[in-house]
RNA sequence: GUGGGUGUAGCUCAGCUGGUUAGAGCGCCAGAUUGUGGCUCUGGAGGUCGCCGGUUCAAAUCCGGUCAUCCACCCCA
């Protein structure tokens, strides 16, 4: 056996890393709970029929498939096997796959449990998902998503509420962000007005590249995708509109466009007078994630004015999908939701040094003894502290003091309880403060007071 | 899935155009200091040079493959 390893794109986490991750999850969870969302969990595995075809052709390729147990070749598609047709063969030897996101399983969940749920159903879900993507910075094959979605209401109040949630979470994390808002109907309206409604997806793919390749690049992309020069001109003019009002005029000829504008205005009206700590920006060039969104779309990026030099893609996204559960046979249930990219948020907080102090510490006091007798005595003292709710531990052997002290220092415990022969006789262990180096003898109840006061 | 960079001690990295026992800093262990960590000093341990193959008298160094990782693209969180 050579060096042990783990699969590509997966990671182990050291205790300090887990603490930091939990800090992010706890912060997000706390905000979700405050806004009235309730937690659910779904299995890591779903049936492939649930997953396939929901994320486009690209998504199907990135699905992890789970090989059937037992003699899977017995039921394999022999023809596909003979023809070396991996795609088709896979269907006959794998019926399950790892979930790719939390939204599709949620839609499946709503349909399956519709009689047990009261609509609108506001759920949050913080669980790992898997994608057979090529790993990159901030991109892994196993990563957590933190989603909040509402099923069963068309109210635009929820769009406003989700903006608030983004704002509250990033405020608590100390990260300045820009919350970008757009509406798919507005984009559809633009396509109509420009006469390229039939080229809608091509248009959005091109627009989405704006911040990366500039207008010249976008127009080249449109050209390559069969959008003519005149349409390009009209699209650019509309996309350069700075305000909702300015765009409303341009979109007046399109009914869909007008509806999109109305929705945006309605969301903004809900937020009128609501204090936000991060910038909320209407951005008509926000065009990603359009496969199933039908109304408002959100994206969160780092505020590079507040945090100069940071280079990171989107750290959150979401939107409205008018027909959330239709693919699973339940019509008329609308959904709207957002997702936090916890892994990227982690990298950012790390880079910007925004994790609070003291996350790593839980153990408050470490007992240190000098010989067998004092070790047993210390065990009782430490037990008493634990009974009183103090996180306490005892070094397992009464070895050389220096070694025990080094260990205490290495794990960063703030207090050390020293128990020698004198301390055992007087019943007053020495409590040492590892930061100041000061130490003094105290009864157990005095020690308890000191530790409680410090906690 | 496409193209490129990197892979040397636990960590971060030196090692020129191939040439004897492969180095540094940090970390680790021990001692100075037999009831006191961090600081200092002294000493020590630790390396299949990612892996497989090829060229060569000789490969960490050159070539091919492979794996991992990073970057760009695609797509996305």
Query: Three-class SS string for A192-218?
Result: HHCCCHHHHHHHHHHHHCHHHHHHHHH
Q: Any atom of strand B under 7 A from CB of A3?
A: yes
Nucleotide nearest to A315 (CA to C1'): B77
The C-alpha angle A152, A321, A35, rounded to 5 degrees, equals 55
Q: Any atom of strand B under 7 A from CB of A134?
A: yes
Q: Has residue A331 got a pLDDT over 50?
A: yes
Percent of chain A with pLDDT over 70: 98
Q: Any atom of strand B under 7 A from CB of A401?
A: yes
Q: Cα–Cα distance between A135 and A224 in angstroms, integer?
A: 29
Q: Any atom of strand B under 7 A from CB of A101?
A: yes
Q: What is the pLDDT of residues A353-377, one digit of tens each?
A: 888 877 877 899 999 999 999 999 9
pLDDT band at A268 (very low <50, low <70, confident <90, very high): very high
Q: A190 and A257 in contact (C-beta within 8 Å)?
A: yes
ipTM: 0.81
A38: alpha, beta or left, given left = phi > 0 and alpha = psi -120 to 50?
beta
Query: Domains of chain A, with CATH numbers?
Result: 15-44+99-351 (3.30.930.10), 48-98 (no CATH), 365-454 (3.40.50.800)
Q: What is the pLDDT of residues A122-181, one digit of tens each?
A: 999 999 999 988 887 778 889 999 999 999 999 999 999 999 999 999 999 999 999 999
Q: Any atom of strand B under 7 A from CB of A145?
A: yes
> The tokens 């300090």 sit on which residue?
A16
User: What values do phi and psi take at A186, rounded to 5?
Assistant: -65, -40
Q: Which of residues 352-371 of A touch strand B (CB under 7 A)?
A: 370
Q: A278 and A173 in contact (C-beta within 8 Å)?
A: no
Protein residue at shortest CA distance from C1' of B67: A8
pLDDT band at A229 (very low <50, low <70, confident <90, very high): confident
Hey, which residues does A320 pair with through a beta bridge? A336
Q: A368 and A431 in contact (C-beta within 8 Å)?
A: no
- Tell me A139's DSSP state: B
Structure tokens at A81: 């096997």
Cα radius of gyration (chain A): 29
pLDDT band at A450 (very low <50, low <70, confident <90, very high): very high
């Amino acid at each position: 056996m050579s060096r042990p390893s783990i699969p590509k794109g997966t990671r182990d986490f050291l205790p300090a890393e887990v603490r930091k991750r939990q800090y992010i999850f706890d912060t997000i969870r706390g905000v979700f709970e405050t806004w009235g969302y309730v937690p659910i969990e779904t299995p890591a595995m779903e049936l492939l029929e649930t997953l396939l075809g929901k994320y486009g052709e690209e998504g199907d390729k990135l699905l992890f498939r789970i090989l059937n147990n037992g003699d899977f070749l017995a039921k394999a598609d022999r023809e596909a096997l003979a023809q070396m047709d991996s795609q088709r063969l896979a269907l006959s030897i794998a019926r399950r796959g790892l979930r790719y996101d939390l939204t599709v399983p949620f839609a499946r969940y709503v349909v399956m449990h519709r009689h047990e749920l009261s609509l609108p159903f506001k759920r949050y879900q913080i669980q790992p998902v898997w994608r057979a993507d090529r790993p990159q910075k901030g991109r892994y094959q196993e990563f957590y998503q933190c989603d909040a979605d509402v099923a069963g209401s068309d109210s635009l109040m929820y769009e406003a509420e989700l903006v608030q949630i983004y704002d509250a979470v990033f405020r608590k994390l100390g990260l300045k962000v820009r919350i970008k808002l757009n509406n798919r109907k507005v984009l559809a309206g633009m396509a109509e007005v420009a006469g390229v409604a039939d080229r809608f997806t091509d248009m959005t793919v091109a627009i989405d590249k704006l911040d990366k390749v500039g207008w010249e690049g976008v127009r080249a992309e449109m050209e390559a995708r069969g959008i003519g020069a005149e349409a390009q001109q009209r699209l650019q003019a509309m996309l350069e509109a700075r305000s909702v009002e300015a765009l409303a005029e341009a979109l007046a000829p399109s009914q869909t466009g007008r509806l999109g504008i109305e929705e945006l205005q309605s969301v903004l009206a809900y937020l009128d007078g609501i204090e936000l700590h991060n910038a909320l920006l209407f951005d008509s060039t926000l065009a990603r994630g359009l496969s199933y969104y039908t109304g408002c779309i959100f994206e969160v990026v780092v505020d590079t004015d507040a945090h100069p030099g940071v280079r990171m893609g989107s750290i959150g996204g979401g939107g409205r999908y008018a027909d959330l559960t239709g693919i699973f046979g339940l019509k008329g249930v609308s959904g709207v939701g957002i997702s936090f990219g916890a892994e990227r948020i982690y990298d950012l907080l790390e880079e910007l040094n925004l994790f609070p102090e003291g996350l790593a510490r839980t153990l408050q006091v470490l007992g240190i003894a000098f010989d067998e007798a004092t070790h047993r005595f210390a065990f009782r003292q430490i037990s008493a502290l634990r009974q009183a709710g103090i996180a306490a531990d005892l070094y397992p052997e009464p070895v050389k003091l220096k070694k025990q002290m080094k260990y205490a220092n290495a794990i960063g415990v703030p207090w050390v309880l020293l128990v020698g022969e004198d301390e055992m006789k007087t019943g007053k262990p020495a409590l040492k403060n590892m930061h100041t180096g000061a130490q003094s003898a105290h009864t157990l109840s005095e020690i308890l007071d000191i530790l409680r006061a410090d906690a």
